Structure 1
Amino acid sequence: MLHTRINPANAEPVLSVRDLSVWRGERHLLNDVTWVVSPGERWVVLGANGSGKTTLVRVATWWDRPSAGELTLLGHTLGRADVRSVRTEVGFVSVAFADKIRPGVTAHDVVVSARHGALETWWHHYTADDHARAAASLAEMAMAGFGERTFGSLSSGERQRVLLARALMADAPLIVLDEPSAGLDLGGREDLLGRLDALGADPTGPAQVLITHHPEEIPPSFTHVLLIRDGRVSAAGPIDEVLTSESLSDTFGLTLHLERRDGRFTAWAAT
């Protein structure tokens, strides 16, 4: 792996929210959420559509504003740090983030521009080492021959791998994956989940937060889960203890059976 080695035992949380609430007009999106992500942890935020998953993570990573609560991110406290500067230290992999990238930018430039927290190389200076690191990051994601391809010419799965390479390039201590399998076929999904699993299995790798509403999309190496329903956390903690048929049923509001085989989850409705 290309990232800087970390020692989870000696590091402060990478993300912390305390008594977080979000409301827009009369609508309450999140209510009194407290959540801490420590180095070395790989979290799944799991819930139904509209439950508040993406709102929680966007606010926790300073891409949206809270209505109440205390937030810290990578050692910085919201309101006491440069928001734009801190946000560049977080790696994002999502369809929404991919849509921000101009289609004509090459895959290599998407990756190397992470050095300055930009979406293109623009006027920034890049060293030979920067370009070599970008190439190595692409190679780690099996994209070695794609550096000169334009981002717009890549498949959905290839774009997600480029964004993962970008996160590795930036040495991001936290990678946020917002439904990264959306739009992928079965092969593309399994390829991406395999790469996320390998990244998560590395004890010195970055913390990860994966947003999904499908238990089968949870990589085996992920360690924790936060279950959310109607803007409230219904359960959170180590995945082996928290994610059960009962907790999943409560989260989705219907009776579900959950099974885990070879590290992967499968869920289905009771008949």
Structure 2
Amino acid sequence: MAETTAGRTSEDRGVVVALEGVGVRRHTNGQTILSEVDWTVRAGEHWALLGANGAGKTTLLKLLGALMHPTTGGVEVLGCRLGRVDVRELRTRIGHVSSAQAVPKDVDARTVVLTGHSGTVQPLWRTYDDEVRGRAEALLAELGVKELAHRPYAVCSGGQRARILIARALMPAPPLLLLDEPFNALDLPSREDLVEAMQRLAESRPDLATVTVTHHLEELFPAVGHALLLREGRILAGGPVGGVLTAPWMTACFGRPVRVVRHDGRWAAYSGSLTGERADIGAEATS
């Protein structure tokens, strides 16, 4: 029996993303980036996407965001098959968060969130009625940054910007939210604020599916119930976190001994002689 969410098994919930036999090759030199990827994400599931640099995480996230097409295989996002749909319309239904995405830097936080409604870099003021403006303010409150509504985005901290960008991505009420290393360069308090914000989001939106690319297990919020490990463009392991985020699989994924610890729904991973014990194959995560 699959894990349950809001009283339903994962099989009962709608498919948000479906990849079958997906491969991606670089056109310039024929290099294989992804190979034979099969993956299904359902409504209400929260996935962690992990792997060493160059494993194919960014390419996989681009496929989910309808930002590129596969070389082989099929990709369906929100019921639309890439290659048979206007990707510009599809992208408006997908929330995408990246610290590198283009947003206006010379406006306040509320304006940045408003641009998520129009899907533009610069604000289109005539498209923002009272309902839209109210929704932007409600999202800032939901992400715990309501007090930043009129603060210039340029002077907000990294953690504050991350939550503002998530609020922006949620403006069109997308069924799928993609987070590309949202914790990048955050200090510990900012990281924990973002973890708590994501947990609240998962609890208040039971049908929202998320995929978070990260290098650190400490950044996973407790609602993350599934994980996908990539190694050299192939899926090494995927499924419920209890069977994937283990010392053996993490060791195989990153190519060095890894110790995995779980406590009160939070994760941590360690490697090297300073951990105090070697993450031998056969070791299990601590509950």
TM-score by length of 1: 0.91
Structure with the bigger RCO (C-alpha within 8 Å, sep 6+) is 1
Residue of 255, 259, 262 corresponding to 2:261: 259
147-156 vs 185-194, which deviates more? 147-156
Give the 3-state SS of the residue equivalent to 2:177 in structure 1. Answer: strand
Give the 3-state SS of the residue equivalent to 1:20 in structure 2. Answer: strand
- Provide the alpha-carbon RMSD of the alignment: 1.9
Residue of 67, 75, 81 corresponding to 1:63: 67
2:50 alignment partner in structure 1: 46
CA 29–134 in structure 1, closer or farther in 2 if over 3 Å, else same: same
140-149 vs 75-84, which deviates more? 140-149
1:112 alignment partner in structure 2: 114
Give 4+ residue runs of structure 1 displaced > 4 Å after superposition: 7-11
Structure 1: unaligned runs, 5 residues or longer: none
2:69–2:83 contact (8 Å) kept in structure 1: no
2:142–2:201 contact (8 Å) kept in structure 1: no
Letter in 2 for 1:221: A
Cα distance between partner residues in 2 of 1:108 and 1:10: 37
CA drift at 1:208:
0.5
2:95–2:169 contact (8 Å) kept in structure 1: yes
Letter in 1 for 2:75: L
1:14 alignment partner in structure 2: 16
1:199 alignment partner in structure 2: 201
Cα distance between partner residues in 2 of 1:258 and 1:43: 18
CA drift at 1:243:
1.6
1:161–1:192 contact (8 Å) kept in structure 2: yes
Superposed CA deviations along residues 168-221 of structure 1, whole A, max 9, x for unmatched, are 322111111111110111111111111112222346241100001111211111
1:61-140 map, 5 Å: 61-97=65-101, 100-122=102-124, 124-140=126-142
CA drift at 1:26:
2.7
Cα distance between partner residues in 2 of 1:233 and 1:65: 18
Cα distance between partner residues in 2 of 1:186 and 1:123: 36
Identity across the alignment (%) = 38
Cα distance between partner residues in 2 of 1:134 and 1:203: 16
Residue of 251, 268, 271 corresponding to 1:269: 271
Superposed CA deviations along residues 228-258 of structure 1, whole A, max 9, x for unmatched, are 0111100000111222110110000111111
2:41 alignment partner in structure 1: 37
Cα distance between partner residues in 2 of 1:132 and 1:227: 39
Residues 1:168 and 2:170 aligned together: yes
TM-score by length of 2: 0.86
Superposed CA deviations along residues 78-137 of structure 1, whole A, max 9, x for unmatched, are 12211011112111222112xx11211321122122223223322642221111111111
Residues 1:28 and 2:39 aligned together: no
2:116–2:170 contact (8 Å) kept in structure 1: no
CA drift at 1:28:
1.0
Give the 3-state SS of the residue equivalent to 1:172 in structure 2. Answer: coil
CA drift at 1:10:
5.7
Residue of 164, 184, 187 corresponding to 1:185: 187
1:12–1:75 contact (8 Å) kept in structure 2: no
Cα distance between partner residues in 2 of 1:10 and 1:32: 26
Larger Rg: 2
Give the 3-state SS of the residue equivalent to 1:250 in structure 2. Answer: helix
Letter in 2 for 1:107: A
196-205 vs 104-113, which deviates more? 196-205
CA 62–134 in structure 1, closer or farther in 2 if over 3 Å, else same: same
Cα distance between partner residues in 2 of 1:53 and 1:120: 29
Letter in 2 for 1:201: E
Cα distance between partner residues in 2 of 1:102 and 1:201: 30
